[in-house]
Structure 1
Amino acid sequence: MDILLNVVNYILGFGAAVFVPLIMFVLGLCVKMKPGDAFIAALTLGIAFTGMNTITSFMTGAIQPAAEGLADKTGLALTTVDTGWPAMSAIAWAWPFGVLCFPLLIVINIILLVTNKTNTLNVDLWNVWNLLFTAVLINYACEEAGMGTTVAMVLAFVGAGLMAALGIKIGDMWAPSIEKITGIPGVTVPHSMTFTAVLMFPFELILEKIPAIQNNNVDAKWLRDHFGIFGENSVMGLIIGIVLGAIAYGELQAALTLGIQAATAMVLFPMVSKLFMQALSPISDAVGDWMKAKFQDGRELYIGLDWPIVAGSNELWVLTILLIPVELIFAVVLAPIGNTVLPFAGIINTCCAVPALLLTGGNLIKMLILGIIATPVYLMVGSSFAGYCTRLAQTWSPDSLAGMGENPSITWSTMECPDFRWVLVNGLSGHVVAIVLLIVWLALFVLLYKHMAKRNVEIKKELGR
């Protein structure tokens, strides 16, 4: 176990921007790409991930102080610290049994591929931490329910295995939508953050019945066509940033600075996203040719990658900024009934924006409505898991709690797939209501899958495939 843990920790030390390109380089060689072409494609992918992460960090760094300023105006002081995903992932990896999620994901993916139950090859192994984070939550919940150490551990990995399988299957479901959004064929996002589309799905069906919303696809292009320069990425970022800054700071200089920072991010996101197409298109073409040679039934292979491949969508970032005041308002409103966290580190809620983007195809009105509906779930689930998150840190990463006092409390306010995690963790630990909700969630997953299968036929026709 120690040897495997050391190997995994060493690999993870490279970070996603190095680890994923290395895998893609090997994959390129396996599908007969020229070594030079495979190297350039992998290098460009690493640059794209680094560029996107840099801009995202820049935007979060600019927005977070404004969010804190907005919170200060309410005078609300909540007890749980929002760590965001970087700190939570580091804490989660300290759990020694989490290393087993690596082979678990790989084996499940191989089985599904060999049995022709999926077309997705998930190379986003760096994000396996989401599986182990879910596993440790289940483990703690089952122990708390008195199930015993062995049973709790077994159920933890059963839950992680289910999450891995659903992620691979949802990758199949999203591939055509992602090609339409990005222009890159043969890639998908088997990321657990997109599971929240299941929660959003019933509301999406209702919105589809409202002609004023369904027949008017208010996306970034629509805004440019109808509002001229006010629909341009830079101007939208400037306006949203100035408004947020004015409310948060009440001072012109700070408001204008935030406006320029938001405008900068809105312009750079689509620029960097073009690097993903430049990197992935040759690899996708090579994989397609290899699949045609190996399988005469026309089977496709989708390469499963992290969510930043869709980060060039302007609608995604418009939504994350629009949701900032919504998150803070709900944090205040929900405090009397259980919310204990102010969303600072997770204030840029891509975990909500990505599934909304994929489910609606970029309709901003739908995305905003679905985002508002989902936001309370993130806050309440994050608060409900604060005890387990804190226990994880106290047991395996006590240094992460330094300076937080005698009774620290931490969580991740915009935790990926909070709906699924809550029903899975509480369902496997024996809570009757959660068991029922888990069954309902899985049924909705199947219905969403079938719904998207029909939509994907139309999308493929649009793409000429």
Structure 2
Amino acid sequence: MAFINEFFANLAGLGKYLMVPLMIAIIGVLFKVNVDKAIKGGITVGIGLFGLDLALSIVSDYLGPVANGLVTKANLNLDVVDVGWQALSGIAFGTQIGAMIIPVMILFNVIMVTIGASRTMNVDIWNFWHYAVTGSLVYFVTNNILYSLLAAIAHAAIILLFADRTAPRVQEVTGIPGISIPHGGVLDQWIFGFIMEPIYNFIGKRFRNDKKTKVGGGQGKKLQENAIFKIIQDPIYLGFILGTVLGFIAGQGAKTSFTTGMAMAAFLYLTPRMVKILMEGLLPINQAVQKMRSKMDGNSDLYIGMDNAVGLGHNTVMLITVIAIPILIVLAAIVPGNRVIPIASLAACGYCSSMLNVVHKGKFGRTLFSTTILFISTLLIASYMAPVITEVAILSGFETEYALISSLSGGTLIAAAPFFLAFRFSNTAGLIFSLIIIVGTIVLQRIYFKNKDQQEETKEVKQV
């Protein structure tokens, strides 16, 4: 057992740049892709992931000083420091549960696909740390490995459900075929996005009806043809303008402000190209997977589960990555009950909107508003969980100079909090809650795919 734990602990230490390409290559070989193409495809995906993070590092490197200036100007006298996803993932994998999460999640994923309860093969093994957070928090209150693993499995089960159901929409918005997003930190985005989308539709419908009555048509078309509006829509111009303005607002000099503008223009220009590289690596693997799957089960798909970073290349998400930084700082200053100073997660704001953007189909206003509201929930839950996160960090050997730490990155703590609270109430309540989610997900998924396959067969018969 100790050897197995050590093996998977070392595997977790590889990080996503090695782990994801390795899994892509292995899946390619298993699905009879030429070995050379499978390895090259895996490496190309790794290059795309590297490129995405390099593009995102532009935000951290150049907007970092600007963000610190904004934090200073806001005079945030708060007692919890945001340490970001990097520290939180290290804490999660460093606990007693952390090393066990990878083999357990791989086995669970294989079982779900085998019994027809999922069609997502999650190759994004590095991001199993989100499930490790859930398991570690439950272990903190129960000191029971079985309960902790059940909570982590329940977290993964509900994520697979959303990954399967949203895969067509993900592919449509990102432009990447054959993928789904089983990322453990986007559960809050899926749930909140699908709650808000019909509300936006209702409001939009009423607004359009009122506009037709009062104004008449033609205004939107004139705006689209306006030369200034066309320039503002261009990501390069918009990145330069936003970066420069934020620099001046933060009190930076002219040189720094304009350099920040150039950096943001580079970020908006480079990120979509990195996504295209990632797509290039996935294409031969995806084609082989779908070809073999169609031979086995007719027209049913098998999705390759990827990091939600693939959603960063959309124009809406890239703009929100920049705009959300001052918004999050302002919210930290004014939201009652917030204790967290946003620092490490500021550069990763795009991750907090990537799947909201998918739900809202790229609509900028909807995605920005939903992201803003979700930030409020994130601040409050991160504040509430700070003492526990700090204690778990200390127990895992994580060293920090701060009295209290937490993380605002993604929705990890929002997803983990219900399981933590259920087991904190009582072990029985937590156990029942976790089992209901696991069993309920399996039943619902099997019914869903059975109906979906029957509908596809009916369509084929009608076409013939």
Q: Please, what TM-score do these two structures have when normalized by structure 2?
A: 0.85
Task: Please report how far the alpha carbon of residue 214 of structure 1 lies from its aligned counterpart in structure 2 after TM superposition.
Answer: 8.9
What's 2:357 paired with? 357
Matched, 1:171 2:163: yes
Asked whether 1:421 is paired with 2:421, we answer no
1:213 deviation in Å? Answer: 9.3
Per-residue CA deviations over 1:76-111 (Å, capped at 9, x if unaligned) read 221112111111111221112222211221222122
Q: Return the alpha-carbon distance in structure 1 between the equivalents of residues 107 and 59 of structure 2.
A: 37
Structure 2 Cα separation of the partners of residues 426 and 223 of structure 1: 53
The answer to whether the Cα contact below 8 Å between 2:88 and 2:407 also exists between their aligned partners in 1 is yes
Aligned equivalents of 1:68, 1:213: Cα separation in 2: 41
1:211 aligned to 204, 211, 222, which one? 204
Task: Give the length in aligned residue pairs.
Answer: 428
Task: Report the AA paired with residue 243 of structure 2.
Answer: G
Match of 2:194 among 201, 215, 218: 201
Residue 146 of structure 1: aligned partner: none
Deviates more, 1:22-31 or 1:241-250: 241-250
Q: Which stretches in structure 2 are left out of the alignment for 5+ residues?
A: 212-219, 460-464
Partner residue in 1 for 2:215 = none
Do the aligned partners of 2:240 and 2:265 also contact (CA within 8 Å) in 1?
A: yes
Cα drift, residue 61 of structure 1? 2.4
- 8 Å contact from structure 2 (residues 171, 177) kept in 1: yes
Instruction: Provide the residue aligned with 2:216 in structure 1.
Output: none
**Residue 101 of structure 1 aligns to a residue in which SS?**
helix
1:429 is paired with a residue whose SS is helix
AA aligned opposite 2:193 = M
What pairs up with 1:291-306 in 2 under 5 angstroms?
291-295=293-297, 297-306=298-307
Identity, % of aligned positions: 26
The one-letter amino acid of 1:346's match is: S
Residue 159, structure 1, aligned to residue 151, structure 2? yes
Counterpart residue number, 2:312: 311
In 2: Cα distance, 1:201 partner to 1:423 partner: 19
- Matched to 1:88, the amino acid is L
**Is the Cα contact below 8 Å between 1:204 and 1:370 reproduced in 2?**
no
Match of 1:265 in 2: 267
| Deviation for aligned residue 1:346 | 0.4
Q: Which runs of 5+ in 1 are unaligned?
A: 144-148
Quote the Cα distance in structure 2 between the aligned partners of 1:186 and 1:365: 28
Q: Does 1:411 align with 2:406?
A: yes
User: What CA deviation, in whole Å up to 9, does each residue of 1:14-67 have, x standing for no partner?
Assistant: 221111111111111111111121122111111111111111122122222212
Greater radius of gyration (CA): 2
Instruction: Say if 1:25 and 1:367 are closer, same or farther in 2 by CA, change over 3 A.
Output: same
AA aligned to 1:46 is G
Q: Which has the higher contact order (CA 8 A, sep 6+)?
A: 2
Match of 2:182 in 1: 190
The whole-number CA distance in structure 1 between the counterparts of 2:184 and 2:152 is 11
Q: How does 1:201-240 map to 2 (within 5 A)?
A: 201-211=194-204, 227-240=229-242
Alpha carbons of 1:355 and 1:182: their partners in 2 closer, same or farther (altered >3 Å)? closer
**Greater than 6 Å deviation, 4+ residue runs:** 212-216, 222-226
Contact 2:133-2:416 within 8 A present in 1 as well = no
TM-score by length of 1: 0.85
Whole-angstrom distance in 1 between the partners of 2:59 and 2:305: 26
8 A contact 2:38–2:285 mirrored in 1: yes
**1:172, CA displacement in angstroms?**
0.6
- Secondary structure of 1:413 counterpart: coil
| RMSD, aligned CA | 3.1
Asked if 2 retains the 8 angstrom alpha-carbon contact of 1:382 and 1:414, the reply is no
Q: Tell me which residue corresponds to 2:462.
A: none
Letter in structure 1 aligned against 2:345: G
Write the mapping of 1:19-38 to structure 2, written as runs, cut at 5 A.
19-38=19-38
- Structure 1 pair 247/10, CA: closer, same or farther in 2 (3 Å)? same
Counterpart of 1:320, as a letter, is: T
Q: Does 1:106 align with 2:106?
A: yes
- Tell me whether 89-98 or 230-239 shows the greater mean CA deviation: 89-98
